[in-house]
Structure 1
Amino acid sequence: MANIVLSLSTSSFSSHSYPTKHTSSLTPMATAIRTKVVPAVIVGGGRVGRALQDMGNGNDLLVKRGEPVPLDFKGPVLVCTRNDDLEAVLDATPRSRWDDLVFFQNGMLEPWFESKNLGDADQVLAYFAISKLGEPPIDGKTDTNPEGLTAAYGKWASAVAERLHAGGLSCKVLNKEEFQKQMLEKLIWISAFMLVGARHPGATVGAVEKEYRSEVSSLITELASAAGAEKRLVFEEAMEERLCAYSRSVAHFPTAVKEFKWRNGWFYSLSQKAIAEGKPDPCPLHTEWLKELKIV
C-alpha cells in the first residue's frame, strides 16, 4: 500500500517517452462515453498523468520533463507533477496558455499562484488511488461521502469532471468558495494526520485515526480555526468525522511530514505572522510538535 498514489501525492515526471496517440485500457462502458472528453495536454507521465490519458479519446498530448507546452494545442493543460516541479512547468508554458493550466497538486498553492499572477487558477482535488502505473484508479469514496470527494474548480472544471466520469470516477464542479473550503479541509487532513503519525514512528493513517484520535482531533480543531480565521470562512459542521472517514478509506497509507512548504508550512507561516505582530500563536500545538520533531 505504501506505493499507492492518492490525493496525498501527485506523480512525478516520467523519464520515458510516450506517443501522442495512446491505446486506452478503459472498460467498455467508459470507452463508450469517452467521446465527450475534451483533448488535453497532460504534463507529467507518472501514475496520475497516465491514468488521465487513459480516460481520454486518444487525442491527448503527454508532455515529458523539459518539453514545452505547445501554443497551438487547444484545451486544458493538466498539470500532474510534484509541487516542486511547478516552477519548471510554468517556465515551459507560453504565457498566453497560463489560463488553461489545471493543477492536480495537493497542498496550499494560493501563495504561489499569487506570486506568479495566476489569479484564480483551475484546481482539482483528486481523491483516488492508483496502485501502479497503468492500473485503473480506485475512487476515494467514504462512509460519510459515498458520492465521492473529488472536486474541480475553474474554467476547465466541467471538462475535467467529464474526463474523470469517463474513467468511472466521481467529480464535483464547485464554485470558488466551496472549492476553497474543501481544499482547506484536505490541507488540514494531510497536515494533521501526517504530523501526528510522524510523532509515532511506523503509524499508518489508520493507526492515527484509531489509536491517536484525541491527538489528531485536537490538531484538526486548531488548524481549522486558524484556516477559517485567515480566509474568513466558516467550514461545514462535522469536519473531524469527514476527515476520519477518509482516513479509514486509506487506512494503510504510511505517515510522514513531506512537502513542508506546501502543507504544514502554510500553518506555520500563520504562527510566525501572528507572533511577529505580538499576537498569540493560532496553532500552538502544531508549532510545538513541529519543534518536537525538529522540522522547524
Structure 2
Amino acid sequence: MASPVALFPVRYFRFSFTFSSSSRSRISVRCSATMATTSTTITPAIIVGGGRVGRALQGMGDGRDVLIGRGQQVPFDFDGPIFVCTRNDDLDAVLEATPSSRWSDLVFFQNGMLDPWFESRGLGDANQVLAYFAVSKLGEPPLDGKTDTNPEGLTAAFGKWASAVAARLHSGGLSCKVLQREAFQKQMLEKLIWISAFMLVGARHQGATVGVVEKDYRSEVTSLIAELESAAAAERQLTFDYGLEERLCAYSRAVAHFPTAVKEFKWRNGWFYSLTEKAIALGKNDPCPLHTAWLKEIKII
C-alpha cells in the first residue's frame, strides 16, 4: 500500500544574477519549486506483551500505543489493532482478556501452526504476521531477515490490519509485504518447515546453531525439509513455489547465530507428528518417517 504523500504549498524563490558588461545589464530569474515530503501514518495499537518484539513494535509507534502485560484486560474502548506478542501457550489467556467484540482486531505475531487453535476459537480469518526479523535483546533494534535469495525481505502480514502492520514495520526500517490468504498460508507453512527442521536437526547435534546446521549438517536438514514439504503439501493440497530448500537455507545463513532446540512442540513439530498419527491410525505409511525417528531419538515422543 503506498504511503500517503503530503504536498506543501508551492514556494517561490527569487535568485538575482548580476553580469558585468558595458551595458551593466541586470537579469532577474524567477524560479519555483514544489516541495513534497512523504509521511507514514502509524495506526495506534494495543500491544499485548512487553518482551523483545512487543517493545520493538512500540518503539516504531508515535507514542500513542497502549502496552499491556499478559493477563491484563484489553481495553474495549481503544480502536485499532491489537498486537499479540506473547508465547503461544498464553494465547487462551489473551483471548479471555479481550472483549469478544475486539477479537477480529487481534494480530498474532507467533511462530508455528496456529490454524487448529484459530478454528477451535472461531478465529478462522485471524490477522497474522510472519515475523522474519529478530530482536536479540530487549531494547535493541530488530534485525531484518533479508537473504541472498529474498533481498526484498520475507516478513509478511495477512488480514484487515495487514497494511497497518506493514506501515509500522516500514517506518522502523523493516520489510513487510501484504499477502492474500493463499499466498500467506504457503509462507506460513514454509516458516513452519524451517523452524521444525532446523530446530530438530540442531537438537540432534548438541544444540548446534542454525548456521552450523546449514553448513555442517546440510544433507540431514535438506532431507528433513523435503519430507516435511511433501507432507504439508499433501495435507493442504497445495504446491510450494520452486526453491523452498534454498530459501530456507538462505534464511538460516542470515540468522546463523540463532540457537536450536525443539520447543513449543504442540505448535511446531507437533503438527507434523499429528499427520503421522493420523496416517498410522488409518493404516497408512508414516508421511514423515525421518521426522518421527529423530523425535524419538531425542526423546521428544
Task: Report the TM-score range of the alignment, normalised by the length of the smaller protein.
Answer: 0.7 to 0.9
Verify: 1:252 aligned to 2:253, yes or no: no
Are 1:37 and 1:159, in contact at CA under 8 Å, matched by a contact in 2? yes
Distance 2:150 2:64 in 1: 33
Amino acid at match of 1:94: P
Q: Which residue of 2 aligns with 1:181?
A: 186
Alignment of 1:204-243 (within 5 A): 204-243=209-248
Amino acid at match of 1:287: T
Among 60, 64, 69, the residue aligned to 1:64: 69
**TM-score w.r.t. structure 1 length?**
0.88
Q: Which residue of 1 aligns with 2:53?
A: 48
Q: How far is 1:131 from its partner?
A: 2.1
> What SS is found at the alignment partner of 2:168?
helix
Are 1:34 and 1:56, in contact at CA under 8 Å, matched by a contact in 2? no
Are 1:129 and 1:140, in contact at CA under 8 Å, matched by a contact in 2? yes
> 1:246–1:42: structure 2 CA closer, same or farther, 3 Å change rule?
same
Q: Which residue of 2 aligns with 1:3?
A: none
Are 1:152 and 1:160, in contact at CA under 8 Å, matched by a contact in 2? yes
Among 159, 163, 174, the residue aligned to 1:154: 159
> What SS is found at the alignment partner of 1:178?
helix
Q: How far is 1:35 from its partner?
A: 5.1
Verify: 1:77 aligned to 2:82, yes or no: yes
Q: Which residue of 1 aligns with 2:146?
A: 141
> What SS is found at the alignment partner of 1:124?
strand
Distance 2:120 2:257 in 1: 36
Q: Which residue of 2 aligns with 1:200?
A: 205
Distance 1:273 1:149 in 2: 32
> 1:71–1:57: structure 2 CA closer, same or farther, 3 Å change rule?
same
Q: Percent same amino acid at aligned positions?
A: 78
> What SS is found at the alignment partner of 1:217?
helix
> What SS is found at the alignment partner of 1:102?
strand
> What SS is found at the alignment partner of 1:69?
coil
Among 123, 131, 140, the residue aligned to 1:126: 131
* Residues 219-266 of structure 1: per-residue CA shift (max 9 Å, x gap): 000000000110111000010000000000111211110000000000
> 1:34–1:60: structure 2 CA closer, same or farther, 3 Å change rule?
farther
Give me the CA root mean square deviation. 1.1
Runs of 4+ aligned structure 1 residues displaced above 4 Å come to: 32-35
Q: How far is 1:63 from its partner?
A: 1.0
Amino acid at match of 1:258: K
Q: How far is 1:66 from its partner?
A: 2.2
Distance 1:275 1:132 in 2: 43
Q: Which residue of 1 aligns with 2:29?
A: none
Gaps of 5+ in 2: 1-36
> What SS is found at the alignment partner of 2:123?
coil
**TM-score w.r.t. structure 2 length?**
0.86
Amino acid at match of 2:136: S
Gaps of 5+ in 1: 1-31
Distance 1:275 1:34 in 2: 56
> What SS is found at the alignment partner of 2:188?
helix
Q: Which residue of 1 aligns with 2:24?
A: none
Alignment of 1:158-169 (within 5 A): 158-169=163-174
> 1:33–1:260: structure 2 CA closer, same or farther, 3 Å change rule?
farther
Distance 2:289 2:236 in 1: 19
Higher relative contact order (CA 8 A, sep 6+): 1
Q: How far is 1:34 from its partner?
A: 6.8
Distance 2:176 2:88 in 1: 22
Q: How far is 1:65 from its partner?
A: 2.3
Distance 1:51 1:175 in 2: 25
Count of aligned pairs: 265
Name which of structure 1's ranges 127-136 and 178-187 shifts more when overlaid on structure 2: 127-136
Among 270, 277, 282, the residue aligned to 1:277: 282
Are 1:79 and 1:103, in contact at CA under 8 Å, matched by a contact in 2? yes
> What SS is found at the alignment partner of 2:157?
strand
Verify: 1:290 aligned to 2:265, yes or no: no
